Amino acid sequence: MNSDKPFIEVAHYQVCKYKQGAPGDVFLSQKNSSDGRVITTLSDGLGSGIKAGVLATLTATMATRFVASDIPVKRAAEIIMNTLPVCQNRGISYATFTLVDIEPNSTVRIVEYDNPPYILVREQTVVEPLKDISTFERKDKSTAPKIEAHLHYSQYEARPGDRLVFFSDGVTQAGMGSAELPFGWGLANVQDFILKKILLNPQISARELARLVVYEALFHDKHKAKDDITCGVIYSRKPRDLLIMTGPPMYKENDTSIARIFSLFDGKKVICGGTTANILARELNRQIRLQLKNIDPYVPPFSEMDGADLVTEGIITMGKVAEMLEKGDQSSYTNVNAATKLVEMILDSDRIQFVVGTKINEAHQDPNMPVELEIRRNVIKKIAAMLEEKYLKEVHIQFF
């Protein structure tokens, strides 16, 4: 793993409008395997609920796919604008968007349509790149008056440490109508809040910063969101590495090899599986200490060992981790257990290295065991695929 190249962490956090079961904001992000570009879109559908979510999904999907297909971002934005329906009563589009295209050479291109302006933080200061405003008439076939669309386009060269923060108007308008914030939280206050959080914790992750912004907006709405609230953060920084070691090697003579990998790894380290933990404890002459606090009825307890950041049971815990990553909403898991701790570590890391032993565990071949207990390798491959495609992590798997 090349530790000199900055890693682009992309994360977002979202809450739905109060009493709505589906979000009207959509956040999509992907990394092109062909050229390494990171493309991210936040779209806000008009109103809230399922109808807004459908239009926002259409907008975000088109934007992401057009740019991934090498259509220039400004041209892609115009195509989207002429595709989206218009609310004839208000004379506005049914969805707004912020589109971010990051090249491997660190060139960042951003197109904004009717979303609040993004915030670029560099060296703990808000930087305002020059923006080109394009105005054009929508090609609306109806007899209604023509509608002008205003697209804000900007480009800059990203530097290590840059944070790009963008959000739906549920953030800036939070608290609107209240005695404290009659006109809403406002962009200036959001900027001040973000700067304070970065000053307090200069290494704060994109995921944590997005969550804090949404929580603060929700606080101003008295914890009953008046609109969908979504915040996305893109953070360029030194990669955070995580080693997950699970399963005994096929051949006993490789026990020493995996112990050496574990000892030399520079980053956080997790051991999944009792047999794996016992092998490393024996090879490294260390003790395993089982923790029996906060016992969870569905996930085996975790343990501690010197040199390891977390020690868990194997296949049941990994299966739960896969389930949580697939669902994507970690906030719904209130119990702290081995699986939630491991998910937190995975999501706070950028490059995850799996060292997977291939010796068959006879217990997992028992037909009386639950169906969801897949063979270890399949669970790891499932997790790795989700981390790469859904969470834009860099994943390496080494089998022994």
- Is 80 exceeded by the pLDDT of residue 265? yes
The pTM of this model reads: 0.87
**What pLDDT is attached to residue 373?**
43
Bridge partners of 131, per DSSP, are 154
Alpha helices in 2-85 (DSSP H): 49-68, 73-83
Taking each helix axis as running N to C, give the angle between helix 376-389 and helix 315-327, from 0 to 180 degrees, rounded to the nearest 10: 30
Taking each helix axis as running N to C, give the angle between helix 255-264 and helix 274-284, from 0 to 180 degrees, rounded to the nearest 10: 80
**What pLDDT is attached to residue 95?**
84
Summarised one tens digit per residue, pLDDT across range 206-254 is: 999 999 999 999 999 999 999 999 999 999 989 999 999 999 998 899 9
Question: Taking a C-beta distance cutoff of 8 angstroms, is the pair 242, 346 a contact?
Answer: yes
- Is 70 exceeded by the pLDDT of residue 89? no
Higher-confidence residue of 294 and 353: namely 353
CA 8 – CA 3 distance, rounded (Å): 13
Q: Count CB neighbours of 306 within 10 A.
A: 11
Nearest to 308 by CA among 281, 340, 330: 281
Angstrom distances, CA of residue 35 to CA of 3, 8, 379:
19, 14, 28
Residue spans of beta strands (DSSP E) within 138-237:
148-157, 163-167, 229-237
To the nearest whole number, what is the mean pLDDT of the chain?
A: 88
**What pLDDT is attached to residue 371?**
42
Question: Taking a C-beta distance cutoff of 8 angstroms, is the pair 138, 86 a contact?
Answer: yes
In percent, the amount of the chain with pLDDT more than 90 equals 64
**What pLDDT is attached to residue 363?**
54
**What pLDDT is attached to residue 349?**
94
Q: Where in the chain is the domain with CATH 3.60.40.10?
A: 7-237
CA 171 – CA 175 distance, rounded (Å): 9
Between 3.40.50.2300, 3.60.15.10, 3.60.40.10, 3.20.20.10, what CATH number should domain 7-237 receive?
3.60.40.10
Nearest to 115 by CA among 171, 69, 181: 171
pLDDT band at 33 (very low <50, low <70, confident <90, very high): confident
State whether residue 351 is helix, strand or coil.
strand
**What pLDDT is attached to residue 142?**
54
Question: Taking a C-beta distance cutoff of 8 angstroms, is the pair 283, 256 a contact?
Answer: yes
**What pLDDT is attached to residue 5?**
78
Summarised one tens digit per residue, pLDDT across range 289-344 is: 988 877 888 899 999 999 999 999 998 999 999 999 998 865 556 678 999 999 99
Nearest to 359 by CA among 279, 262, 293: 279
pLDDT band at 3 (very low <50, low <70, confident <90, very high): low
